[in-house]
Amino acid sequence: MKSYQNLVLLQNLYRLKAIGFDYIDHFNINEKTSYEIPASIEELSANISSCHLCDLSKSRTQSMPGHGNPKAELMVIDFSVSAAQDSSNDYYTGRSGETLKNMIEKVIGLSVDDVFITHCVKCKPLGSNKPSSSEYNSCKSYLYSQLEFIKPKVLMVLGEDAYTQLTGDTGNFEDVRGHVIDFKGTKLIPIYHPNYLLRNPDSKKITLNDLKSIKSCL
């Protein structure tokens, strides 16, 4: 709870700085005020949408808190928001998004409205840069809170970057890809990212088997 209070406090300080404040009087935090963990995923999403905890808030079109069923049995976690997603506010945009949608609907057999999709880093990175660890850490509490609210049966993690940031495992991605991993009481299955499959179509058959494993866990 206290770490979330600090996140909200820092967010408000960024806002004051953005409108020109150079100094404010010292004040204490009352731990029993509204600076507490949100009571619902809707409140959490609203906080994410207005977040200014890192510099990515200066370059994004919007923050993308997630989309889909807040009681989903399958939660999809990508690493960071793409430029196409940022400009369209659509989680299934472009060739990569269409590939992901087909994976969910045609192989796993769920509508995209039945799952919940979100990102480790909820804003578009600056330029073509990869988000930094500090930028991910600004979003980490948001992501873990989403996991606590949704309580999915299965986490489908897209690609090595998302897997590494979420779990802290820096080992060989090929050693875990497609495996069912216990993560905070949830079955986590890392798979190739749709962008990787577009560049490496020979890996689609491997991913097909991984998707079948995901379907069998639901």
* 141 within some domain: yes
Q: What is the CATH number of the domain that holds 209?
A: 3.40.470.10
d(CA 62, CA 148): 24
- What's the chain's Rg over C-alpha atoms? 18
Q: Which domain holds residue 81?
A: 60-217
* 44 within some domain: no
Tokens linked to 67 = 């989309």
* 165 within some domain: yes
* 130 within some domain: yes
Say if CB 65 and CB 118 are below 8 A apart. Answer: yes
Say if CB 207 and CB 156 are below 8 A apart. Answer: no
* 16 within some domain: no
pLDDT tens column, 149-200: 999 999 999 999 999 999 999 999 999 999 999 998 999 999 999 999 999 9
- Average pLDDT estimate for 70-83: 94
* 206 within some domain: yes
pLDDT tens column, 90-147: 999 999 999 999 999 999 999 999 999 999 999 888 776 778 777 888 888 899 999 9
C-alpha angle with apex 146: 188 to 128, nearest 5 degrees? 80
* 33 within some domain: no
Name the domain count of the chain.
1
